[in-house]
Structure 1
Amino acid sequence: MFRVYGYLRASTEEQDATRAKAELEKFTEQLGFGVAHWFIENESGAKLQRPELFRLLDIAMPGDVLLVEQIDRLSRLKSEDWEQLKRLINDKNIRIVSLDLPSSFALMRNADEFTERILSSINSMMLDFLAAFARKNYEERRRMQAQGVAKAKIEGKYKGRREDKDLHSRILQLLDDGRSYNFIERTISCSRHTISKVSKRRKAALEEEVL
């Protein structure tokens, strides 16, 4: 028997990384499986080094399933980084199943060796296509955003990225309650970087009060 590991990702702390969790749970239940563990993080898909993704890859055993909503949750990587990630996944014989790749669903059903090899070959080709499309879409959105920022700066309308004050307030409350970074990450789906930033601000504020 294999285990199914769910991977949920959003690019920023303001986005809900758990948005697709219910849909993925329903999908696995319909096939008669459960999700052994969820790996959730708020990191850019254009970045190879993602702590929760690599924790999943470290824990998973040959034959286990890496389940995602869409391939762009797994990769918006440039080609060389995608090849590196794909090599890590293939070397451990981890099977990628994604809701936007219907041919991958069969990898969660029993099949003879010939059928499995055919499906694996098809999925490999489709994975490369979807990963390349996700990267192209990412680069196009970045280009359009850069154009928008440049125009706003010229017109004097650019104010920069606003902080999520509600998120920071929740982090601060959990820190005050003595919660660990890992607990806060799991509870409100934010990055360690953001928790660290809020923690440093709190420490600096306390030091100012003492002075």
Structure 2
Amino acid sequence: MIYGYIRVSTDKQTVENQRFEIKRFAKKRGMVVEKWTSETVSGTKKANERLLGNLLKKLNKGDTLIISELSRLGRNLLQIMSMLNYLMENETTLLTVKEGYELGNNINSKVLAFAFGLSAEIERNLISQRTKEALARKKAEGIILGRPKGLANLQTYKLYPHQLEIIELRNSGLSLEKIARKYKVNRSTVTKFITRINGEKRWQ
């Protein structure tokens, strides 16, 4: 089975240009596209959030998928690599009109996939390096990274709305376990809350 996939990012673009390109490309190779999938959606969306996801699931060993260019699969190199790997493992041939790529179960495809994989790894490393540099710069500027140190504001505690009642219950001799069960929290949560309120190190 020969499939054609078309994607445009906005409704102002037309799918007909890509359809024409794919039809002309297929004709030169003596092929006829039997089934078409076209959609208007951003390439940043994951495949399973697009019609492309359903199309990939339909492809079987020996099928051929024709697209106008690799960017139709997605805007992210890692995303595209994942799809190419899926197609190769599924032994589905992918043809691109503009780049002239032919990816299938052959040595050329594996070499090309290796090149894409290397590019993806480089991209990951660059992103990681940019992140580290940004963090280092913020640290040098005196910006505190991570969670703020020190005690949290008392009003952020889950038990804060019940503080007066909890103190009364505790003063009346009710155990921490029973207080915890009453408010459906852990014993340690009650302990920390009462400690904060009274300024004590530990309630026994």
Normalized against structure 1, the TM-score is what?
A: 0.49
Q: Does residue 75 of structure 2 align to residue 76 of structure 1?
A: yes
Give me the whole-angstrom Cα distance separating, in 2, the residues matched to 1:69 and 1:88. Answer: 19
Q: CA deviation at 1:63?
A: 1.9
Question: Residues 126 and 100 of structure 1: is their aligned pair in 2 closer, same or farther, counting only changes over 3 Å?
Answer: farther
Partner of 2:13: 15
> CA–CA distance in 2 between the matches of 1:87 and 1:103?
14
Tell me how large the CA RMSD over aligned residues is. Answer: 2.7
Q: Deviations over 1:130-166 (max 9, x none)?
A: 989xxxxxxxxxxxxxxxxxxxxxxxxxxxxxxxxxx
Contact 1:12 1:43 in 2 (8 A): yes
- How far residue 18 of structure 1 moved from its aligned partner, in angstroms, is 2.9
Displacement after TM superposition at 1:78 (Å): 5.3
Give the Cα–Cα distance (whole angstroms) in 2 for the partners of residues 40 and 22 of structure 1: 13
More contact order relative to length (CA 8 Å, sep ≥ 6): 1
State the 1:41 CA deviation: 0.2
Q: Tell me the percent identity.
A: 23
1:123 alignment partner in structure 2: 112
Shift of 1:83: 4.2
Instruction: State whether structure 2 residue 20 is matched by structure 1 residue 31.
Output: no
Alignment match, 1:44 = 42
Work out the CA distance in 2 between the residues paired with 1:121 and 1:90. 9
Match 2:88 to one of 69, 87, 90: 90
Distance in 1 (CA, whole Å) between partners of 2:117 and 2:23 is 25
1:97 deviates by 0.7
User: Residue type of the partner of 2:33?
Assistant: V
Which protein has the bigger helix share? Answer: 1
**Count, aligned residues:** 120
1:62 aligns with 2:61: yes
Does the 8 A contact of 1:67 with 1:98 survive in 2? yes
1:78-136 C-alpha deviation (Å, 9 max, x unpaired): 52x3444334323322221101332418x6xxxxxxxx62222233246558989xxxx
Residue type of the alignment partner of 1:117: N
Q: 1:30 to 1:83 in 2, by over 3 A?
A: closer
- Flag the structure with larger Rg: 2
- Structure 1 unpaired stretches of 5+: 108-115, 133-211
Structure-1 separation of matches of 2:114 and 2:33 = 26
